[in-house]
Amino acid sequence: MSKPNLARRVAEAAEIALSTRKYVTFIDVVTGLRWLHSRHVDVWRQGRAATLAELAAVDDDRLLTAAGLLRDWARAKGLRPVETPYVAGTRDRRELRFTAGSEQEPFRVHWLSPDLSEARVRRLTEAQSKAPDLVVVSPLEAWTCASCADTGPYLIMEDDRPHCLTCADMDHLVFLPSGNAALSRRAKQESGLAAVVVRYNRRRKVYQRMGLLVEEAALAAAEERCLADEEVRLRRRERDRVRRAEQDVEYQAAMAAEIARLFPGCPEPRAREIAEHAGQRGSGRVGRSAAARALDENAITLAVIASIRHLDTGYDSLLMSGVPRMEARDRIRADIERKLGEFRRPG
């Protein structure tokens, strides 16, 4: 990829992050470029990789080039640089390294919008400088503790080696499953020592949060607090549900309008249907991605292609007959291009 082309792609990824959160990080850019998946970043933040570069699809020099292009873009936009520490979610809280080289500063800078208030900047800075949660893994495979040669239901990484909770002096903690946000938040606040429990999902290829390990007394105190204000929290959840539904309607209407602009030949009911389907909250579809929520042209086009694939081709029938997914996509490629051509023609 030529440097001008890379600069354009870096700018596109950065624009999406900036429009979504009002600040941009190097991680936003490399995941936007598809050089890294979010699961790779999780592994790195857990302290299970020496550098981020060893998980990336490109070498150290390419990552450094992207960081330089991000800096040039951010300066041209008038963004504010704030250097941010990156530490591992391990007991030693060691500093995370992006590459094997000595130059780490370009990767740590977060670029903040000048539109952010000083209060918001202060909150962001405090949040970014805060040490991450300790991370405990619920392993899928058999494993052995590096200290006692025993095993257990959880492991924590220390000195790049797995240790059981007994050797890590954490075996007094109790497990609190995910599902009750208020209880989890309060138990963590009450607990002097806590850790997030994650488990690898092979199908989705990501580490998923399973719950927390907290002190038993902290869990009891948190349960008492939740019982005391349960009715208030129920009313608040209902208000939040209504607010989110209203936001979804506005977002799906904006997406439908963008589909109509990019594909003037797409009937209005079809554009609305695509937007409602792709933009459904919690669906994990392309319409819920950061790019789509920023109304990125490529993401909107992918949503339209997904609709065409299932409604205007024989794709689903091919899958049902046993045709491999990628082969089925190759067979219907011409049909998709033909329908896209129709949608792009006005009227």
What is the pTM (predicted TM-score) of this model?
A: 0.57
Count the Cβ atoms, other than its own, within 10 Å of residue 336.
Answer: 18
Cα distance between residue 70 and residue 7, in whole Å? 8
Contact 66, 30 (CB under 8 A): yes
Query: What is the side-by-side strand order in the sheet with 134-137?
Result: 134-137, 195-201, 206-214, 174-177
1 pLDDT tier (thresholds 50, 70, 90): low
Give DSSP secondary structure letters for 133-157: PEEEE--SS----TTTS---S-BEE
pLDDT tens track for 97-119: 999 988 899 999 999 998 888 88
Q: What are the φ and ψ backbone dihedral angles of 116, each rounded to 5 degrees? A: -70, 135
Residues 6+ away with beta carbon under 8 Å from 96: 44, 45, 47, 52, 86, 87, 88
Instruction: Identify the bridge partners of residue 109 per DSSP, sorted by sequence position.
Output: 83
> Residue 185's closest CA among 149, 134, 142, 223?
223
End-to-end CA, the chain: 38
Q: Determine the average pLDDT of the residues in 69-96.
A: 89
Residue 271's pLDDT band, with cuts at 50, 70 and 90, is: very high
The contacts of residue 50 (CB under 8 Å, 6+ apart) are 97, 100, 160
Say if CB 183 and CB 176 are below 8 A apart. yes
Whole-number Å distance between alpha carbons of 199 and 136: 9
In the chain, the largest separation of any two C-alpha atoms, in whole Å, equals 72
pLDDT band at 59 (very low <50, low <70, confident <90, very high): very high
Map tokens 């080289």 to a residue. 101
Q: Tell me which residue of 248, 46, 36 sits closest to 157, measured CA to CA.
A: 46
- How many Cβ atoms are within 10 Å of 229's Cβ, its own excluded? 11
Strand, coil or helix: 280: coil
pLDDT interval class at 129 (50, 70, 90): low
User: Average pLDDT, stretch 335-340?
Assistant: 93
Cα of 271 vs its chain's centroid, Å? 27
Number of H helices, E strands in the chain: 14, 9
β 206-214/195-201 pair status: antiparallel
> Residue 297: pLDDT above 80?
yes
SS3 181: helix
Find the mean pLDDT for residues 225-249. 79
What pLDDT sits at residue 141?
A: 92
Considering only CA atoms, which of 319, 107, 134, 119 is closest in space to residue 212? 134
